[in-house]
Structure 1
Amino acid sequence: MKMKRIMLAALFLIQPFFLTTAFAERVVVYGLDAMPLCGVVDGKPAGITVEILQEATLYGAPEFKFVMDVPWLRAQMMVQNPGNELNAIIPFSRSPQREDTFKWLGELIQTQFRLYSFNRATPVLTAGEAAGIPVGVVRGHAIIPLLQELGINKLDEAPNAEINAKKLQHKRFDTIAESDFIAFHNWRKIGEDTSLLQEGLAIGEITRVYIAAGLHFPDATAKKIADALNKMEKDGKLQEILNRWR
């Protein structure tokens, strides 16, 4: 009986270790439907950031399971709250407003936020001009506080970038605020010529897009991800992936 109690006590002591190890082997990654950065193509996760992380697993990062059907604002809340899964979020723009509330696991890509217009006499080149017109944005996008700092507050929100592009196409408004990769990809996706998309005012500095997580994310797992991405950058694999999507 005494031996049985000892074995049970030992089991309870080592159980957290096994649970932690199991979680560390796979990270659930919540993604925004924001191709070409990430999304779903033919029923499978796809995009630049997905491909980078899939390759990172071969370089020593944990396995990643991609979930693309959770609303963006809810996904951000989920990764900030400890639960029964180890999770992260992509493609997540690093900004001063977010800096202290997320753990930044690794940079995946750099992009530029900008105003894009369609069928205007001239593109929107100043914040003052943009402040007087409706501007289409994706709900929960990191560009929103940057626009508001410039006094651009007439924001027409959409659940994803493709719907935003369609609203621009159908003249619900004539200007959107979006990153370069995403704006041009979705404009092509809806059958439009990218030469007709007018580039306007740049919003903020070059944006660094990360895989991010809540502050509770284990440091050891974060280091595995960062180390894998660093190895990919040094041997040219990261640039090879980016070049395929340009």
Structure 2
Amino acid sequence: MPTPLCLLVALLIAGAATADEPVKLYMPDAPPLTLHHYEGGHGMAGDVVLAALARIGKLTDIVAEPWPRAQISVSRGRNMLIIPLSRTPEREELYTWIASIMELERAFFSLDEPVENFAQARERYRRIGVGLGTAQVGILQREGFSDEQIVQLKLGENPTHLLSLGRIDAWFTGVPEALYIWESSAYREQNLRRSPTLASTGLYLGCSKDCDGDLVAQLRAAISELEQEGVSQRLRQAYLPLQPDP
């Protein structure tokens, strides 16, 4: 199987000839969904979107901002793209939703016996780590978790380290992210346990509320073509780690 980088480079070269002014693409460094380091590719969602942009002849200016600020910048701007954005009720009216890139399953990760549902988690966990500004915050709030239970982690705060030290009781996050980070952490010899999937949302390519209709239509068609041709699946599959037992 070709590496994600080789496949993506071929697609980028194919589309670069007709490129004009670069399109701004806001994305966090959130492996394996999005990655800023080009040497190994740009992640499960990043590679798919960059391939779609190449297919319609658009060069891309990747913008790295803190995730909460990036969301505000894009929603208030014009023709700015953003990934990977969960389509939640709180965000519905703030963006132009171009296309779903993948479905993201979410679960609780801990070092002890996993919970089976949200009710058990509300009772057992005093401190739950979630990414600052992510959809996980809203999911837990809608499920009745208190603000004291929800510990929003900034970029650079290592949830695997906090788990191992007991500073958080559990980590609520996307399954690919947890497995990818744990596999490369210093604590991978410990027995990371996961709950069943308790929430799932589509991860979208979003655009500013004020977004050019032609750009939306072209990208929507390109993403659909990549999915139908199996290219998107190959790009995403390259980043998936081995799944541990529950």
Same fold (TM over 0.5): yes
Structure-2 residue corresponding to 1:16: none
**2:142 is equivalent to residue 163 of structure 1:** no
Structure-1 residue corresponding to 2:4: none
Structure-1 residue corresponding to 2:69: 74
Structure-1 residue corresponding to 2:180: 185
Amino acid at match of 1:72: W
2:219 pairs, out of 200, 221, 225, with 225
What SS is found at the alignment partner of 1:245? coil
What SS is found at the alignment partner of 1:99? coil
Aligned-pair CA distance for 1:161: 7.5
Structure-1 residue corresponding to 2:243: none
2:28 pairs, out of 8, 28, 32, with 32
Amino acid at match of 2:26: Y
- Can you list the C-alpha shifts for 1:75-113, whole angstroms capped at 9, x where unaligned? 010001136xx3111111112222222111122121101
- Can you list the C-alpha shifts for 1:54-84, whole angstroms capped at 9, x where unaligned? 221332252222122x11111010001136x
**Contact in 2 for aligned 1:62/1:221 (Cα 8 Å):** no
- Can you list the C-alpha shifts for 1:137-190, whole angstroms capped at 9, x where unaligned? 111110111111211221111113762232113221120110011111111121
2:143 pairs, out of 140, 143, 150, with 150
Larger Rg: 1
Structure-2 residue corresponding to 1:48: 44
- Alpha-carbon RMSD across the aligned residues, in angstroms, is 2.4
Structure-1 residue corresponding to 2:55: 59
Residue identity over aligned pairs, in percent, reads 22
How many angstroms apart in 2 are the aligned matches of 1:24 and 1:134? 48
Distance 1:212 1:24, change over 3 A: farther
How many angstroms apart in 1 are the aligned matches of 2:236 and 2:130? 25
How many angstroms apart in 2 are the aligned matches of 1:244 and 1:195? 25
Structure-1 residue corresponding to 2:90: 97
- Equivalent residue pairs, number: 218
- Can you list the C-alpha shifts for 1:36-61, whole angstroms capped at 9, x where unaligned? 00122378872122211222133225
- Can you list the C-alpha shifts for 1:214-234, whole angstroms capped at 9, x where unaligned? 210111111111111111112
**Contact in 2 for aligned 1:62/1:225 (Cα 8 Å):** no
Q: Tell me, which stretches of 5 or more residues in structure 2 are unaligned?
A: 1-18, 241-246
Q: TM-score, normalised by structure 2?
A: 0.80
Structure-1 residue corresponding to 2:235: 241
Q: TM-score, normalised by structure 1?
A: 0.80
Distance 1:161 1:212, change over 3 A: farther
Q: Tell me, which stretches of 5 or more residues in structure 1 are unaligned?
A: 1-22
Structure-1 residue corresponding to 2:208: 214
How many angstroms apart in 2 are the aligned matches of 1:126 and 1:146? 13
What SS is found at the alignment partner of 1:109? strand
Distance 1:112 1:162, change over 3 A: farther
**Contact in 1 for aligned 2:95/2:209 (Cα 8 Å):** yes
* Between structures 1 and 2, the one with greater strand share: 1
What SS is found at the alignment partner of 2:211? coil
**Contact in 1 for aligned 2:117/2:198 (Cα 8 Å):** no
**2:137 is equivalent to residue 141 of structure 1:** no
Deviates more, 1:185-194 or 1:25-34: 185-194
